[in-house]
Structure 1
Amino acid sequence: MAPILGYWNLRALVEPIVLTLKQAKQPYEYKTYKLGGAPDYDKSEWLKEKENLGLEYPNLPYYIDGDLKITQTLAILRYLGRKHDLGPKGEEETIRSDLIEQGVMEMLLSLFRAWYADNDQFYEANIIKLVPYLEQKFEHTSKVLGSNQFLLGDRVTYNDFLLYSTLDYIRLFKCSLLDPHQGLKDYLDRIEALPEIEPYFKDENFKRFPITGSMAKFGSGN
């Protein structure tokens, strides 16, 4: 029986996991939960199951493979990295991978904090702070990548899919932020051209939006 990956019907935190599974050629069942629109933002599909799946920390995304049940995005990614040889090797790579992982996750979560604003005024104030923050993080990320094909050299790891998803969301939000960083643009192209990944993006069912739920000021596709 194939593992089950559960998440809302949007990209957000699940996309790096999906890409890692595709790269690993791991069949899986993708169970999506509908997140309703305004004003109620109905979560009943998930709430009906939340406490009945045997999850220690009930949350989305989750990954269930027989008796193995994992929640939390990074925990799932690390597990898949170890299982499918898509993680760091040795202490030096592990330290570097941990550092990159936390840096990219910080950048990703900054997007959601800015986009999930209570009103337009708060959203505009958030964006004023977000843009210079991202400009600085792009400088750091460009240096981290350097002349490497991927984050840890010439071998793709789960962190590449975490970074890819984050950069893709940012270019959909404000593509000009990437203009000074041709290396990051080339990196995005390289990820999309991976033999196991390319068919996913070319599939007629693939959609860039929604990234976020309908309560967000950006990313819902509304």
Structure 2
Amino acid sequence: MQLRGGSSFTPCFSLLVPPYTIVYFPTRGRCEAMRMLLADQGQSWKEEVVTKETWLQGPLKASCLYGQLPKFQDGDLTLYQSNAILRHLGRTFGLYGRHGREAALVDMVNDGVEDVRRRCSWLIHHGDEEGKAKYLQELPGHLKPFETLLTQNQGGQAFIVGDQISFADYNLLDLLLNHQVLAPGCLDSQPLLLAYVARLSARPKLKAYLASPEHVNRPVHGAQKM
């Protein structure tokens, strides 16, 4: 398996280097939510960056369980599917709600994020200017459920579920940050979501990661833009 030179993100606040490895393309894409989660939880990880050329050669793709990336290593545990990886990290770090009821809501939010992410990904890869205009016109409606959930949870002053951060918060934050890059001003009609992004992004460890070259220099979706 030929990978472009591996890299790693080691926060200055991390005392130990856990056996985490992310194998993915040189984009934020499906991995940035898990990167933000790990950084905010004070964890370090290794990056194995897969170039387009390496992927098209075929052997790596053939070795992946579902023929796709990301691939995530936690010691001797290998996982595929980005949402399964997020749920695993949620269980590992206690980011899955305080009880079963909250866990159900966290799952619901994460599924809602996936719905919007798929619409956005389709537009990025297949859309045109007319499709972009239609998508942005409909975006407030797609984001309204998250605004509603914030309203119902401590008046929008806390997290998306309960009073502690969950893996779904990182996934939702990543989705919203990406939209702010791809379509600036898209959250102007969603004041609670706008404040939510600012509040979570100001968490010290997460703020440090978001300001790091590892995040800043990594494109949202490769060379493609909305």
Pair 1:168-2:177 in alignment: yes
Cα pair 2:97 2:162 within 8 Å, conserved: no
User: 1:51 aligns to what?
Assistant: 62
Identity of aligned residues (%): 22
User: 1:195 aligns to what?
Assistant: 204
Q: CA deviation at 1:89?
A: 3.0
Pair 1:28-2:39 in alignment: no
User: 2:114 aligns to what?
Assistant: 105
Opposite residue 132 of structure 2, the aligned amino acid is: I
User: 2:80 aligns to what?
Assistant: 71
Q: CA deviation at 1:176?
A: 2.3
Structure 1: 4+ residue segments shifted above 4 A: none
Cα pair 1:58 1:71 within 8 Å, conserved: no
Cα pair 2:54 2:60 within 8 Å, conserved: no
Q: CA deviation at 1:160?
A: 0.6
Opposite residue 100 of structure 2, the aligned amino acid is: E
Label 1:63 to 1:87 Cα distance change in 2 as closer, same or farther (>3 A): same
RMSD: 2.0
Q: CA deviation at 1:137?
A: 1.7
| Structure 1 residue runs without a partner (length 5+) | 36-41
Partner of 1:177: helix, strand, or coil?
coil
Query: Whole-Å Cα distance in 1 between the matches of residues 67 and 41 of structure 2?
Result: 25
Q: Which moved more, 1:132-141 or 1:205-214?
A: 205-214
Label 1:94 to 1:57 Cα distance change in 2 as closer, same or farther (>3 A): same
1:136 corresponds, among 125, 138, 141, to 141
Partner of 1:134: helix, strand, or coil?
helix
Label 1:83 to 1:136 Cα distance change in 2 as closer, same or farther (>3 A): same
Cα pair 1:51 1:58 within 8 Å, conserved: yes
Q: Which moved more, 1:70-79 or 1:138-147?
A: 138-147
Q: CA deviation at 1:31?
A: 1.2
Label 1:96 to 1:46 Cα distance change in 2 as closer, same or farther (>3 A): farther
Opposite residue 67 of structure 1, the aligned amino acid is: D
Cα deviation digits, residues 128-187 of structure 1 (max 9, x gap): 331232110222221111224111132111111110111111111222221122211111
